[in-house]
A and B are shown apart, each in its own frame.
Chain A
Amino acid sequence: MRSELTESTLAVKDACFREVVAAGEPFMKEIKKGQMLRILDLEGNQAVDTLFYSARDPQERYDANNTIHEQGNIYLTTGTILRSNESRPMLTIIADTCGRHDTLGGACSAESNTVRYALEKRHMHSCRDSFLMALSEWDNGMDKRDLSSNINFFMNVPVTPEGGLTFEDGISEAGRYVEMRADMDVIVLISNCPQLNNPCNAYNPTPVEVLVWES
């Protein structure tokens, strides 16, 4: 782990928005420039698959590769600037009591479940199903083409110096959170991961809470 844990200075009572997102549910909301967005792991070890789009032009979106090659490190934590495909800052992580977050592990899907676990796992619920439902309801023309490499908040996907990559037990606990300041007007798209076949959720998907503060 490279970071020290950084606590927020914001009080929960001052939040202008609070919503609990159950496991297996999507969440989509516009966050204005300057607002602070917190994702709170209510019960611990929960993976929160997350994408960001520019609210002005959703063709500009979170880009995992730009984010990691600009900071020269594959893990996201306090100080990380979440960059777009145009390499512009979208949000900055300003507090993190978990320590590091993944952006290489992607989102689970019916099809990837057939490959990773068994052909019969196709019919289990998945993040990409949640993403597609949320985009369909948002109804601004976004679709599967807009599902690019996401962030997995609280998820632990270590890469070794030899190039190994594994999904490991989470390093988060109940009450840990990550907080970001929006550097442009963004749309946040979350799938609170329903995966039951690997330790990313400790085999027990649980709710998270989304909180927003005014600038």
Chain B
Amino acid sequence: MNDTAAATFDTSQVLWEERVPGGAHWSGLLRRGNTLRVTDSEGGANVSMLFYNYEDKLERYNMADTLKGQHTAYLTKGNVCYSDMGRVLCSISEDTCGWHDTIGGVSNAGLVRRKYGQACYQEYRNEFYRNGFDSLVNELGKFGLGKRDLVANLNLFSKVSVDNDGNMQFREGNSRAGDLIDLRFEMNTLVVLSTCQHPLDKAPKYAPMAIDLTAWRSGTAGPDDPCRNSCAENQRAFTNTERMFA
């Protein structure tokens, strides 16, 4: 864990807590004004994650709008996640890790088989090998969504840097046990996630790591909020968001 102490919060505001094992998939509703703390419990976790407006799931996280609005290729504290409609789905109010990947995408069945071999349910029961693409499609299906809706995703706790020639480099050891990120939801949001390994993870073994989820009542971003004020683009995106809830 980094030296920066994560902002603490009033534990009486906790709504629920849940552990998600490595290689699993999860989905749920996070309402406007609530924060989801995602903790890398053991170090080296990867969380492939997508966001959809819960009331109109055609509105969803947009990687390109998020990056070009904030002139960044990765996300950390002070950044926000834009929808394709120019609004803020959630803002990153705390982060001890420092770099969350936005460009690597998800693993798929072929990639997992190529890297780790095959482990079917019949033989391995719930230790069987899963992959990010099928996991996200599985959760999306519960809400009437599918492959068409699986857009470019976030990979929490993973770092992929790019050199001057465009070569992508997966950085091992980016996240340590106890590192965490707080996602403060500014809209009622369907969160869909998979804890499968990053597609560029160099580890030779199938070893996805567990995460802990904690949701609490935090309120939305105030007028002096650092995420709102980190750039003029974010201020305008918050204006668009607040108009919808006016």
Question: Which residue numbers of A lie inside 8 Å of B, CB to CB?
Answer: 1-2, 59-61, 63-66, 68-69, 72-75, 85-87, 100, 104-107, 109, 111-112, 114-116, 118-119, 128, 144-149, 157, 159-161, 163-167
Contact = CB atoms under 8 A, between A and B. Distances in A.
Contacts of A87: 108, 110-111
Q: Give 7 closest A-B pairs by Cβ, nearest first.
A: A106-B64, A65-B105, A111-B86, A75-B166, A2-B165, A165-B73, A145-B148
A165 B72 contact: yes
A109 to B, nearest CB: 7
A65 B82 contact: no
Contact of A85 (B74, B99, B133, B233): B133
B151 A148 contact: yes
B70 to A, nearest CB: 9
B47 interface: no
Contacts of B110: 87
B199 to A, nearest CB: 5
Contacts of B4: none
A116 B168 contact: no
Contacts of A166: 71
Given A144-B58, A163-B161, A74 B151 contact: no
Given A63-B105, A87-B108, A105 B68 contact: yes
Given A115-B233, A163-B161, A165-B67, A74 B148 contact: no
Given A65-B105, A68-B103, A166-B71, A105 B236 contact: no
Given A73-B165, A74-B162, A112-B65, A164 B71 contact: yes
A47 to B, nearest CB: 13
A155 to B, nearest CB: 11
Interface size range of chain B in the complex: 35 or more
A104 B64 contact: yes
B165 to A, nearest CB: 4
Contacts of A86: 108
A72 to B, nearest CB: 5
Contacts of A148: 151-152
Q: Among the interface residues A64, A69, A85, A157, which one has the most CB atoms of the partner chain B within 10 A?
A: A69
A7 to B, nearest CB: 22
A166 to B, nearest CB: 6
Contact of B106 (A61, A65, A106, A159): A65
Contacts of B152: 64-65, 148-149
B130 to A, nearest CB: 16
B74 A163 contact: yes
A65 B104 contact: yes
Given A65-B105, A72-B167, 15 more contacts: A2-B165, A2-B166, A74-B162, A85-B133, A105-B64, A106-B62, A106-B64, A107-B64, A112-B68, A112-B69, A115-B82, A145-B149, A147-B84, A161-B163, A167-B68
